[in-house]
Amino acid sequence: MPVVELSYSRLQKLIGKVSKKQISDSLPFLGLDIESEDKDLVRVEYSPNRPDYSTDFGIALGLQGLLGIKTGPIKLNVKKSNKYPISVKSTVSRIRPFVTGIIAKNGKIDDKTIKQLMTMQEDLHFGIGRKRKKSSIGIHDLDKISFPLVYTTTTRSHKFIPLNSEKELSISEILDTTDVGKDYGSLLGQSPQVPIILDAKQNTVSFPPIINASVTTVTTKTKNLFVEVTGLNKDDAEDMLSVVATVLQSAGFTLESVKITGAKNSSPKLEYRKMSVNSSLINQILGLNLTSSKIISSLKKSRLDASSKGTNIVCTIPAYRFDIFGPMDLVEEVALGYGIQNLEPTISPSQTIGQTNSISLKLKSLDQTMIGLGYLEALNSSLTSKRVLYDMTNRDSTKLLSVLDSKSREHTILRDSVLPGLLENLSRNIHESYPQKMFETGTVFATENPISEKISFSGISAHKDANFTEIKSIIQSALNIGFGIKIETKTATNSTFEEGHCASILLNNIPIGIVGKIDSKIIENYKIRVPVVGFEISLTDSILKN
């Protein structure tokens, strides 16, 4: 989850009369996890469904509600204006069809505000923007731009000075040489045309969703902002814009509209939605018995608006709360406004009878039997490596089952056998005293129709006198005492075991596993200095069947 850094003193200024302790006590009840704290600074993790919490401005609005300082919805005051037209050319419709935007004026932009806005932008790009694919934002210095603007396409040879650069680069050069170009260039596909926002003087404002022009860079001298959002879906673009507009207004800017026309685009509405929820659903889900007025005041603390209509509560939801899908989301808003800490946990007696799964019971009984036989239980990962699974044990790797792009080299292949892991365990414990006797039961995987998962049971014994007879006795007793199963053994050859000391384990003449002395070359591979005997049995089709 994303992290945002806050300053208590800044928050106190934004919220109003509130102590540092009140803030730190309340943050978790807004759904913000405190990650670390250092004097005035606090780092909190926020949920990706609340991008308004990516800035202290947004968090301050939430805290005002929760603490009862200012409740009810945040009303966006957008002054209608015709001074800022953007026309959209139909050529963008196949690449990145929608654009929307807003003007924010007369704000104070200090370093901290710039930092907050940049964090918000990055988080929006990553989260709801899906790494700029669905929607992306550009924030510009309004006074460097001449309206009207046009959102259109251009060729890859189009040149401008991009942000953080001093020289003019072509689109192709930007895509090939800059970090953002390399990271996001693929979003534009192979098309020879790319989207571009140009101003009235034909100057480049932005090359969405990659980079802004250098000329519109926001600095601490900037007074007025132009924000544009482009994207694949009109609603997504406006959702993102609503977050930015709300944050900018609470940062002290006054908002003015831009006028967007052309190619199915239109000016953003940033309107409230209405949604109703039955108060009995709220009370049922929360296990409470709240009056309508208590529900309404709780919703207001969550910075929504509400009124009652019969047993229904009709809610007014600001545009930036697009995380609210339906009635259950409103139930949660009531819970937050009411205060999770005020919900008293209760327990109703169970009307049902609990039951352990029969497979779990059988496996537990097997564990007990093996312990009685003096074997220690080991647990290994089911995701392991080719080295352990095949190379070291001299097993056939043609049917290996691997995962894509593992971050850990030791965890790339799903095991088809438990025994190699146990041998690996022995090799890591050669300094420990012998005898070493271990067992493990675990899931093994095979590429069948499409994947079979079976439970396998393996045991090993390592000490200077380890021999076939010993291990056959163990498996024989374990199955007989554990499950009343009598097995037979029949001479077999297997690359893991020594010839002449290896047998397949038969149950009613059907092979269910293998037992024997581990081949001396494998013992050497693992640098083990004593003989090792072992077995492996598939439990799923023989013992665990009903």
Partner 1 sequence: MSQVFHDIEKKIITSLRADLKQSPEMLQNSTGLSLDQIRRGIEWLKLKDLAIVDESSVSILSLGKNGIESLKMNLPERRLLDLLKDGPRKLSDLQKELGTIFGPAMGLCKKNNWIEITDNQISPIFVSADELPGEKTLKQIGTKQIPKSLVDENDLASLLNRPDFIIDTPKKTKEISLTDTAMKIELSNSSDAIDVEAKVPEVFVARTHPLKDTIDEIREIFVTLGFSEILGNMTQSSFWNFDALFTPQDHPARELQDTFYLDRINAKKIGTPEQIKKVSESHKKNWRYQWDINEARKMVLRTHTTCVTIKHLAENKPDEARIFSLGRVFRNEKVSYKHLVEFNQIEGVVVGKDASLKNLMGIQREFYKRIGITKIKFWPTFFPYTEPSLQTMVYNEKLGKWIELFGMGIFRPEVTKPLGITQPVLAWGGGIERIAMLKYDLDDVREFYNNNLGWLRSAKKCQ
274-303 positions binding partner 1, by CB under 8 A: 284-288
524 CB contacts (<8 Å, ≥6 apart)? none
Contact between 375 and partner 1 (CB under 8 A)? yes
Answer whether 456's CB lies under 8 Å from 522's CB.
no
Bridge partners (DSSP) listed for residue 227: 102, 139
- Among 179-187, 369-377, 463-471, 475-483, which window interacts with partner 1 (CB under 8 A)? 369-377
Answer whether 299's CB lies under 8 Å from 333's CB.
yes
- Among 74-82, 97-105, 111-119, 363-371, which window interacts with partner 1 (CB under 8 A)? 363-371
- Count residues near partner 1 (CB under 8 A): 91
Rounded to an integer, what distance in angstroms lies between the CA atom of residue 21 and that of residue 12? 11
Contact between 33 and partner 1 (CB under 8 A)? yes
Amino acid at 67: L
Answer whether 505's CB lies under 8 Å from 511's CB.
yes
Rounded to an integer, what distance in angstroms lies between the CA atom of residue 444 and that of residue 49? 38
Contact between 464 and partner 1 (CB under 8 A)? no
The 8-class DSSP code of residue 474 comes to H
505-534 positions binding partner 1, by CB under 8 A: none
Contact between 473 and partner 1 (CB under 8 A)? no
- Among 78-86, 353-361, 467-475, 525-533, which window interacts with partner 1 (CB under 8 A)? 353-361
Q: 10 Å Cβ neighbour count for 397?
A: 12
- Among 148-156, 269-277, 381-389, 521-529, which window interacts with partner 1 (CB under 8 A)? 381-389
| H-only helix segments in 41-178 | 56-66, 111-126, 171-177
State in angstroms the smallest separation of the CB of 284 from partner 1. Answer: 6
Which residue's CB is nearer to partner 1, number 46 or number 160? 46
Which residue's CB is nearer to partner 1, number 118 or number 371? 371
The angle, 0 to 180 degrees and rounded to 10, between the axes of the packed helices 292-301 and 327-338 is 80
Contact between 546 and partner 1 (CB under 8 A)? no
Answer whether 145's CB lies under 8 Å from 216's CB.
yes
Distance from the Cα of residue 117 to its chain's centroid: 23
Rounded to an integer, what distance in angstroms lies between the CA atom of residue 245 and that of residue 257? 10
Amino acid at 323: D
State in angstroms the smallest separation of the CB of 132 from partner 1. Answer: 12
Among 7, 47, 91, 292, binds partner 1 (CB under 8 A): 47
Which residue's CB is nearer to partner 1, number 401 or number 492? 401
Contact between 9 and partner 1 (CB under 8 A)? no
Rounded to an integer, what distance in angstroms lies between the CA atom of residue 474 and that of residue 461? 10
Among 16, 68, 310, 374, binds partner 1 (CB under 8 A): 374
State in angstroms the smallest separation of the CB of 33 from partner 1. Answer: 7
Among 77, 146, 365, 447, binds partner 1 (CB under 8 A): 447
State in angstroms the smallest separation of the CB of 302 from partner 1. Answer: 11
Which residue's CB is nearer to partner 1, number 205 or number 444? 444
222-241 positions binding partner 1, by CB under 8 A: 233, 235-236
Among 219, 346, 398, 509, binds partner 1 (CB under 8 A): 346
Which residue's CB is nearer to partner 1, number 235 or number 499? 235
409-438 positions binding partner 1, by CB under 8 A: 410-411, 414, 425, 428-429, 432-433, 436-438
Q: 10 Å Cβ neighbour count for 247?
A: 25
Q: Is residue 450 reached through a cis peptide bond, with omega within 30 degrees of 0 on the bond before it?
A: yes
244-273 positions binding partner 1, by CB under 8 A: none
Contact between 379 and partner 1 (CB under 8 A)? yes
Q: What is the DSSP string of 32-101?
A: -EEEEEETTEEEEE--TT-GGGGSHHHHHHHHHHHTTSS-SPPPP-EE--SS-EEEE-GGGGGT--EEEE
Among 95, 215, 314, 383, binds partner 1 (CB under 8 A): 383
Distance from the Cα of residue 375 to its chain's centroid: 40
356 CB contacts (<8 Å, ≥6 apart)? none
Which residue's CB is nearer to partner 1, number 192 or number 354? 354
Q: Within 13 A of 51's CA, how many CA atoms are on the CB side?
A: 28
- Among 85-93, 212-220, 350-358, 520-528, which window interacts with partner 1 (CB under 8 A)? 350-358
Contact between 370 and partner 1 (CB under 8 A)? yes
